[in-house]
Structure 1
Amino acid sequence: MIRHWQEQGACPKPFGNGTTRLKYIKGQGAIILPVKVNGIEARMIIDTGASRTSLTRSFAARAGIEPVKDDGSIAHTANGAIWVMGGRAKVISLGDARASNIPVFIQTVEQKGFGPGIDGLLGLSFLGNFKFTVNDGVLELQPLS
């Protein structure tokens, strides 16, 4: 989908670099991995169905990401429709894979978080810059060429 948008000029060219191969716990219902946002460690759910990476309000503050009211949207989540403000992460990295200037959503209501100990969802605003495979307990990212 993102590659199609890039060809139409509606999305910037891929800007991810580095390759990573990480194991995750199979059978827990979600892939949860350690991620760094602006150098701050987070636990995030890998969500290939999310257009943007989404962060809790408290984690965004720890990572130094300011919400931008003009860049918000109504997001339809498992918890219902909520208003989320936009922002940008300077750098997001998952293992040795990293990308810069990533658009993110920041939840405005902390009570509707992603679950205990989860700082956000790693969505296509990051993952779309990589070829990724998920197979038998291993997630692998490679830069798009």
Structure 2
Amino acid sequence: MKSLSSTLLILMLLAIPANGQTLSDAKAAVDALGLSVSGTYLVAGGEQELSKNITQFGLLKREILQNSRRLSTMERQYAQFEQQFGQLRQQQVQLNAQLANANPNNVLAYNQLVGAINAVTGQLDLMQQQQVQMDEQLSETKSGLSKAREGIVQLILDSRQLVNDTQQAYETLNADPQVVSAVSAYATAAKRDYKLGPSTTFAANLKKLEDMEKSLESETIQLADSGGGTFHVDVIVNGKIQQKMILDSGASLVTLPLAMATQMGIKVNEDDDETIILKIANGDEINGYPKTIPSLKVGKFTVENVECVVLDSSAIGAEPLLGMSFLGNFKFELNAAEKSLSLMRLEEGGKGR
């Protein structure tokens, strides 16, 4: 029995490191410092958060690519749909003109015209229902794309701040003798060469972040203060026409007065064009005509095929608004104190939509 007791005592002594700490005690000490094991490193919590951000970046980038492709397909289909709709409307006009001049005594021919008109009218009614669904799908896809673009820019900015905070934390930890002692005690107790971070994984993630930052475009644009919290921004339309527009993130679309739209080369037919009802600031409702501007440029940023709405001729004195159909392509920030607009976006291999 004495021999067995001696053996157990020797084994217990061997399990205790030279500094007297057990592995569980040493682990508790580094846990209290907010450190965790990663490979052969004891790392700060910021490292794990950065790894999650890098993974999230890849997911968001894939989401942007998929939504961009989906949007391009939907826009092509929508253009074809509008062309077919226009052709049917023209056919309806022609048939109605024929009916107006038809001889009602020729019952067969007259009824054939009426039947043809009814068929075209039925097709148009069905297409109008389809258009409502397509508009909703387009709006949902554009909104998702805008949120993903803004999210990925914010993720890069947050990750840079996280890196700065983590690097500062390591400087503080490495300068603290108690931390250095705790890391050394844990390495001794675990019988492994553990070191305090930053780890090689952190360095690799930092390189990935730097690559992301290289693809991040940004610019701060000065605004003209018009009073009452209203700011004007210089906009280049179609690469040649300069206009001042009111910056309005509350407007879902870029909004143009009729005279300005005409000057830009946007054709509006108030009798035949598709009409939407708009509510203006004083509560009145006016007609608007959905159109597309080939390109708008603010600062160094150009966005192509920008949706807009042209106000009808009754909107006398209305000013143009730079709304979300342009701003939604960016992460943007208005600094009222400095009278500036900051725009940021990630390069996607071509001009922004």
Question: Alignment partner for residue 243 of structure 2, among 42, 57, 64?
Answer: 42
* 1:114-141 deviation digits (Å, cap 9, x = unpaired): 3xxx4x1000011011110011221111
Residue in 2 that maps onto 1:52: 253
* 1:35-54 deviation digits (Å, cap 9, x = unpaired): 11213111100010001000
Kindly indicate which of the two structures has a greater share of residues assigned to strand: 1
Shift of 1:67: 3.0
Could you tell which deviates more after superposition, 60-69 or 46-55?
60-69
Residue in 1 that maps onto 2:141: 11
Residue in 1 that maps onto 2:290: 86
Residues 36 and 92, structure 1, Cα contact 8 Å, conserved in 2: yes
Kindly indicate which of the two structures has a greater share of residues assigned to helix: 2
CA–CA distance in structure 1, aligned partners of residues 332 and 225 of structure 2: 17
Q: Aligned residues, how many?
A: 135
CA–CA distance in structure 1, aligned partners of residues 257 and 281 of structure 2: 15
Alignment RMSD, CA only?
2.8
The 3 A distance-change label for structure 1 pair 11 and 67 is farther
Structure with the larger RCO, 1 or 2 (CA within 8 Å, 6+ apart): 1
Residue in 2 that maps onto 1:24: 223
Larger Rg: 2
Question: Alignment partner for residue 343 of structure 2, among 122, 125, 141?
Answer: 141
Identity of aligned residues (%): 28
CA–CA distance in structure 2, aligned partners of residues 94 and 101 of structure 1: 14
CA–CA distance in structure 2, aligned partners of residues 108 and 59 of structure 1: 11
Is residue 304 of structure 2 the alignment partner of residue 100 of structure 1? yes
CA–CA distance in structure 2, aligned partners of residues 33 and 21 of structure 1: 12
Residue in 1 that maps onto 2:6: none
Is residue 275 of structure 2 the alignment partner of residue 76 of structure 1? no
Shift of 1:66: 2.1
* 1:81-118 deviation digits (Å, cap 9, x = unpaired): 1101111000011111110001110011254333xxx4
CA–CA distance in structure 2, aligned partners of residues 105 and 37 of structure 1: 15
CA–CA distance in structure 2, aligned partners of residues 25 and 99 of structure 1: 22
Shift of 1:19: 3.5
Secondary structure of the 1:11 match is: helix
Runs of 4+ in 1 over 4 A off after TM superposition: none
Residue in 2 that maps onto 1:65: 266
2:141 is matched by which residue type in structure 1?
C
